[in-house]
Amino acid sequence: MIPISFLKPAAPLACATMMASCAGSPPVSTVAPPRLTLPDAAMRSCSLATLPAEPTMGDLEAGYVLRGAQIVACDGARRLAVETLIAERAMQEAQAMEKRRGMWWRFDL
């Protein structure tokens, strides 16, 4: 006679216990987290003016002014992208907090 391990009869009980504990869990949310769309200005790459092969003093001054304006515009676009990202993360965190608040009976969150 082949000896039967004492764990084999306990296996169906363990499986039933695991299935029963999953049945009491809340369903997984299918709602997508809120997403914001980035403005076009934040998506475009920044371009910088270049000087001609043999620049004159006027070319240098014009290039200096034009580059300064382009850097300011690029910094504004970067700031806009960062603000959009921060607002999106705040919205996602608020949604997560609202979801957690609805499950007051769960202590592991």
Distance in angstroms (rounded) separating the CA atoms of residues 49 and 74? 13
Distance in angstroms (rounded) separating the CA atoms of residues 20 and 35? 36
Domain extents for the chain?
Answer: 35-109
Task: Kindly tell me if the per-residue pLDDT of 58 is higher than 90.
Answer: yes
- The mean pLDDT of the chain is 80
Cβ pair 42, 15 in contact under 8 A? no
**pLDDT at residue 20, rounded to an integer:** 66
**Mean pLDDT calculated for residue range 13-27:** 67
Residue of 93 and 8 predicted with greater confidence: 93
